[in-house]
Structures are given as C-alpha cells and as structure tokens.
C-alpha cells in the first residue's frame, strides 16, 4: 500500500514529511500524489526529502500521480526530474 498524502502546505508539511518518512522506513517504495488536493512549494521539499530517504536506505522511491501544478512548481526550481521516477 502506497503513502498517499492529500495535503502538503506550509501549515501541514511537517506532519506529511514525518508520515512519509515513517512509511519509507517501514519499506514503502511508492508515494502516490494523485489525491493531493492542496499543496504549495513545501510539497517539492517534502518529495525531495522522501527521495533522499529512500536512496539512503537503498530503496529507490517512485512518485506517482503528480498533479500538474506540483510539476510546474518543480520545474520552476529545476527539479522536474525529481517528479518523474
């Protein structure tokens, strides 16, 4: 079962980050963002942290269902490849 956050904004990014890291530590290799209804630039930071955590554990992390708006934010920061994995 994949980790599927519904909101990653400045207000709740810390919680979403911790939940994602806990899922990765338990063996999760997929984060499904298709249900992400609310997000801002903090979502890009969370995805980057999750990807690093997966790499550190030797488990490449896949990101699925990236909303167009989040992809646009990632492109703004030059991190679009982060979202295509």
pTM: 0.92
> Quick one: 17 exposed, middle or buried, by C-beta within 10 A (0-12, 13-18, 19+)?
buried
Q: How far apart, in whole angstroms, are the C-alpha atoms of residue 82 and residue 24?
A: 16
Written as tens digits, the pLDDT of the chain (85 aa) is: 678 999 999 999 999 999 999 999 999 999 999 999 999 999 999 999 999 999 999 999 999 999 999 999 999 999 988 887 6
Which H/E stretch holds residue 14?
A: helix 13-25
CB distance 33 to 67 below 8 Å: yes
Q: How far apart, in whole angstroms, are the C-alpha atoms of residue 23 and residue 67?
A: 21
């Amino acid at each position: 079962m994949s980790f599927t956050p519904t909101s990653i904004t400045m207000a709740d990014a810390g919680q979403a980050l911790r939940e994602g890291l806990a899922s990765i530590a338990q063996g999760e290799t997929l984060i499904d963002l298709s249900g992400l209804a609310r997000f801002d630039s903090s979502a890009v930071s969370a995805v980057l942290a999750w990807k690093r955590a997966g790499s550190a554990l030797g488990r490449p992390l896949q990101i699925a269902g990236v909303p167009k708006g989040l992809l646009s934010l990632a492109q703004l920061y030059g991190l679009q490849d982060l979202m295509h994995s």
